[in-house]
Structure 1
Amino acid sequence: MRYGVIGCGRIHRNHAQAALAVEGVELVGVSDVDEERAATSGREWNVPFYTDYREMLAAGVDAVGICLPHHLHEEVCVAAAQAGVHVFCEKPLATSVEECDRMIQACDHHGVKLAVVFQHRFNDNAQALRRLLDSGRLGRPVLGTALFQYYKNPEDTSYFAGSGWRGTWEREGGGVLNTHAVHALDLLCWFLGEVKETQGLIATLTHSTEVEDTAGGVLRFESGALATIAASMSVGLKFESRITISGTKGVAVLTDSRRLDVEYLNGGRETHVYDEPLDDPSFQTNLAYGRGHLAQLADFADAIAHDRVPVSDGRSARHVLSVVKSFYASARN
């Protein structure tokens, strides 16, 4: 799979490094409207660089990774689909559900795959919890909880105002829930299924942004299970992510990207720590990122090769965004 990366910001390194590491994938180009940034990336990965992504599409790629500001996802996704190029898009899929629908429709119409980067599904601890649920060992899931909190310095104006798009409803589409804790929300949906009802609250407590820096809410799933989510980027803590799935036979706790603890009703206990190297200079990773980009890109390539739906596809990402938007609507009402 000849793979190109569109957008050479921070997260593009995960795409480039994954493409270099995954068997059957070849990194063949990078693109950015900032010529200096595109050239720097091209030199680092030893591939051609472009300042117009359309030139890279025309040069011959099978798939592209979209690593752009949220409001630009639709334009590039549709252009790639029209060129017959498969799309691996960073989360969230778009800034609105309507944009998601147009992206999905374009990919369906032109017969290309659309996958959305929710790499935490592919971390070893999340995969293990998914297998536990599928096996029935936790019984019927009845309750989920998700906690996501970290500190984003309100005085660091470069992240928000300096970006030209972060912190705005129009271009980012939302705040901590939409951009950061969306990984936790995606996992809740992946573990517990479709959401039918939400009630949410949002607040902007420490940052000078339009969007929220703190959020909390309740979800009801089609299965009848309930869940809560709480998220903030205003707390005095570097990073914490914790997800609990409680079933009639046991409770499982997912901590960060590496640990899984399980306690069963019959008294049994399990602890699994997946020792991912978080200081490996060959790959940009940390507790927040995990190493799921590698496995997800491999899944995407396999989905193309065998004409199947990727594990994290456009429709599941649309559902997650619809849940985020329903939280915001509930909070405003």
Structure 2
Amino acid sequence: MNFQHTDDRRMLADSLNRFIAEQYGFEARDRIARSQEGFSRDKWQRFCELGIVGAFFEESDGGFGGDGFDIAVVFEALGRGLVVEPFLDALIVGRALGRAGNDTQREIIARMIEGTEIAAFAHDEPGSHYELARVTTRAARRADGWVLNGAKGVVQQGEHADILLVSARTSNGEHDQAGISLFLVPRNAPGMRVRGYRKIDGGRAAEVSLENVELDSDALVGTEGAGFPTLAHAVGYGLVALASEAVGAMDVAKEHTLEYLRTRKQFGVPIGTFQALQHRMADLLLEIEQARSAAINAAAAVGGEGIERERALSAAKYSIGRIGALVAEESIQLHGGIGMTWELPLSHYSKRLVMIDHQLGDEDHHLARYIELGRALMS
């Protein structure tokens, strides 16, 4: 299989990398990440004008990409720049609407591509332990619509989103795949409370509480009780995005560490000449290439269906979680005490790598899932 990027993807990556280098340097990014909103609406609009969000979707949804590798090249560049704007949720929500939404709901994709609407993915719940099918938020029918009750946690940019894609159970038990439905909920809907907070790796997230939130019947996305396949489809693309973002962040951490080993002197010579440090750095470089291979494999598999797709995604997320933590630890240790300082970009890359592991399932979750899927494949 040919894993070389097309000319269009290379041009998109070049444009995005150049924009980040010129307009989204570390100091600018740090100000944005610590701001009251946790992202920049101006930068978000300018990213969208570059066509970044359009690369997430197929032409039938108003985009110009939609392949796993289209998403990979974008998020690798975003990872290199530690970009905090809400691209991941735009991807997940848009892929869900593209798969199951009606014509009116799919118009949201066009507005996200233009940068005029921000969407948030509200699925995780307190105590869900990353299990995609574990949903306790309830949606009950009423004469002309639905009433939602429940709580969602760690909703990225939930306090500033225009609309949220919320999962809720309409039937069956809290662990069942069947019976999950998806709803589009305006952020200012009566009965919905949003409590925002700052994340340790930059940007903001929110806890969302839904108390007798009344929705019209057209808020339902897809078929009642059949939301799980749409969730699995959309989250799969999110896993590719996170794996690629982590690879981009690892590359920058590697570059900073190599530069430090070349310039920091001890006993009158660069510390990079010490054999023990050379061995540690060589091991780290091999691990990063393993992470890159796992991310490429996930991008190649995400367009498929079934167990093989899910195993490739979980394998990538497990690898990214394990190797990301290793890169964070080793890079900081090889820098010494200066590696932990706020002013040095490395500490921020390290925090982001650690937090990527906790989005959409950590390494323990995906290792167990990979094993379980392997058993299912052999049975």
TM-score (norm 2): 0.27
Q: Which has the higher helix share?
A: 2
Greater relative contact order, per chain length (Cα 8 Å cut-off, separation 6+):
1
Could you say which structure has the larger radius of gyration? 2
Q: Which has the higher strand share?
A: 1
TM-score (norm 1): 0.29
